[in-house]
Amino acid sequence: MSTTTETPKPAAPAAPAAAPRVRRPRPQVMSVTPAAAERVKALIEGRGKPTAGIRIGVRSKGCSGMSYTLEFADKQEPMDEVVDTQGIKLLIDPKASLFLIGTEMDYEEEKLKSGFVFKNPNEKGRCGCGESFHV
């Protein structure tokens, strides 16, 4: 009976470690004009209590189907998309993110009206009064 011992084979040369993939910065969901940023700052300062930011969402409403919503946010929710720009923090409701990609938030003041205006490239149409939109 013969016993044979196998000599270990030399290990294959290790492949060079791949460099970690550098992720490019994720673009913000929305942009904000300086006029809108100033108005948001004024609203938060005038509120009189601690505020995490302004929550922006979309809800079913109006003739075209959807409407923008804005409200004070007392705290940031775990799934909120955060837009931190020009000294303000916008908290985007996760259900609204897809509808708001690429949107610019502005603030306009005219003789007979003033308010936030959303310029959304995803909109396919608006109702006549301008209160609602559809994508």
pLDDT score recorded for residue 105: 93
Alpha carbon 118 to its chain's center: 14
Q: Render the burial of 86-111: b for 16+ CB within 10 Å, e for the rest.
A: eebbbbbbeebbebbbebebbbeeee
pLDDT score recorded for residue 56: 93
Average pLDDT for residues 100-105, to the nearest whole number?
Answer: 90
pLDDT score recorded for residue 48: 86
pLDDT score recorded for residue 130: 55
pLDDT score recorded for residue 27: 72
Q: Which letter does DSSP use for residue 14 in this model?
A: P
pLDDT score recorded for residue 7: 65
Average pLDDT for residues 105-126, to the nearest whole number?
Answer: 84
* pTM of the full structure: 0.71
